[in-house]
Structure 1
């Protein structure tokens, strides 16, 4: 909830960003007139104009003839994993409007990625649970999502080896069964070239010699025994993120 007594343009933009992400403002919907938003938040028209310009720059809205602003049909702003969890907590919905997931897998693997091994606090070659899925936006692959989970989680949540998706975030089940709270480290963002399997997951077909840069977000979860899970989300080319953990 925005504190109207101290709302700035970024706060107002975040307010409408969440409404768009949660589906309360659907693609093609007309945004409220700036005069109405000015009265709602008790700010100047200049502040509202900056907020609307920010939403436009992010690709969330678009101008329409007649001086109206509407929600974009397909935004290039990609929701983070953290924003997905925030949305589930707010709305109870697993997916944003127009979103779904496919190609769910779950298996035991040996971890040979030094960075992931370090984040999980394990040795190279140790077994881990790897769960993967592809998030679609309006039927198009948007995110290749990988979860690497410490083996100790299997003791309490053996369902992790079942490929079908959970009805809720699996860590909620883990907390219920163990009494342990989990926390998330600050989200890490980087860019690199996509691996072959990631291109396959995102249905990107290019020559073998082609280099495809992608945005990668990493989230690490801990409980009182140490690292528990590493998320690595690889975003399709053309998608970008906005500042902070906002959708």
Structure 2
């Protein structure tokens, strides 16, 4: 093969890693070489390593964990998770409760910051653009594997100065919107949800360990105060399409 017809360096690096994975040398869950290690081993730039890993992620052989590296993806079929939009009062975090009922251990990372509502969020909350909100970002994991993202916004006019102002800190941390709001005298009822299907954005795919444009369910969810009709929380929820099915309604009890 002439040099002109030889595959580009990133494909050669991808093939070397692919062979190590397929031979079993690198087992499912194994941490793959860092970009610095690839550069040291091959002499190619970090960009070559990045493109090689992008190929393997697209093939479903590798999963990227932001800030942690690249890992060999398990090829075992993973169970389909069923999402329901609400749990019984006092049931805590809906995601945690729903996964626990399916025998799955759930945990999540979160970060809360005060922000100013942009026009889109302000319209959903019925407030003025620029009004202060508490913005919380989440990455949910099922048995350690990322499966869901969420961004939540709550008007500071509702929660500011209360013990629930930080959703994941304080005495009522991590119990879900409905139970938290009950502690300040607000009953929210069942949220309104708008569900669409689309491809994952690159940043979403990176957090979910998926390929860019992988199918996701995108949910715009809003909770309302049942007494006043005022929106008290709105969220963008992103579910990995290969892992989730959404189920709505309540089955009546059998006779």
The TM-score bracket by the shorter chain reads 0.5 to 0.7
1:82-122 residue CA offsets vs partner (Å, 9 max, x unmatched): 14x249639997451323223211111222252x3221112
Are residue 200 (structure 1) and residue 206 (structure 2) matched?
Answer: yes
Are residue 228 (structure 1) and residue 220 (structure 2) matched?
Answer: no
Describe the shift of the 1:221–1:242 C-alpha distance in structure 2 as closer, same or farther (beyond 3 A): closer
1:134-191 residue CA offsets vs partner (Å, 9 max, x unmatched): 11112210101222111123235344336448152354243233x3322234332111
Offset at residue 128 of structure 1 (A): 1.3
Q: Is the CA contact 2:106–2:140 (under 8 Å) kept in the aligned structure 1?
A: yes
Which residue of the partner structure matches residue 214 of structure 2? 212
Are residue 184 (structure 1) and residue 186 (structure 2) matched?
Answer: no
Instruction: Report the count of equivalent residues.
Output: 167
Which residue of the partner structure matches residue 131 of structure 1? 136
Which residue of the partner structure matches residue 107 of structure 1? 113
Which residue of the partner structure matches residue 238 of structure 1? 242
Tell me the TM-score normalised to structure 2 length.
0.54
**Is there any run of 5+ residues in structure 2 with no aligned partner, and where?**
1-76, 251-255
Are residue 166 (structure 1) and residue 173 (structure 2) matched?
Answer: yes
Matches within 5 A, 1:83-94: 83=86, 85-86=87-88, 89=91, 94=97
1:5-31 residue CA offsets vs partner (Å, 9 max, x unmatched): xxxxxxxxxxxxxxxxxxxxxxxxxxx
RMSD: 3.4
Tell me the TM-score normalised to structure 1 length.
0.55
1:175 to 175, 179, 182: 182
**Is there any run of 5+ residues in structure 1 with no aligned partner, and where?**
1-72
Describe the shift of the 1:123–1:137 C-alpha distance in structure 2 as closer, same or farther (beyond 3 A): same
CA distance in 1, matches of 2:175, 2:186: 17
Q: Which has the higher contact order (CA 8 A, sep 6+)?
A: 1
Q: Is the CA contact 2:217–2:239 (under 8 Å) kept in the aligned structure 1?
A: yes
Which residue of the partner structure matches residue 48 of structure 1? none
Describe the shift of the 1:195–1:111 C-alpha distance in structure 2 as closer, same or farther (beyond 3 A): farther
More helix by share: 1
Describe the shift of the 1:200–1:110 C-alpha distance in structure 2 as closer, same or farther (beyond 3 A): farther
Describe the shift of the 1:192–1:124 C-alpha distance in structure 2 as closer, same or farther (beyond 3 A): farther
Q: Is the CA contact 2:92–2:176 (under 8 Å) kept in the aligned structure 1?
A: no
CA distance in 2, matches of 1:135, 1:154: 24
Describe the shift of the 1:202–1:154 C-alpha distance in structure 2 as closer, same or farther (beyond 3 A): same
Structure of higher CA gyration radius: 2
CA distance in 1, matches of 2:110, 2:92: 25
Offset at residue 192 of structure 1 (A): 2.5
Describe the shift of the 1:194–1:110 C-alpha distance in structure 2 as closer, same or farther (beyond 3 A): farther
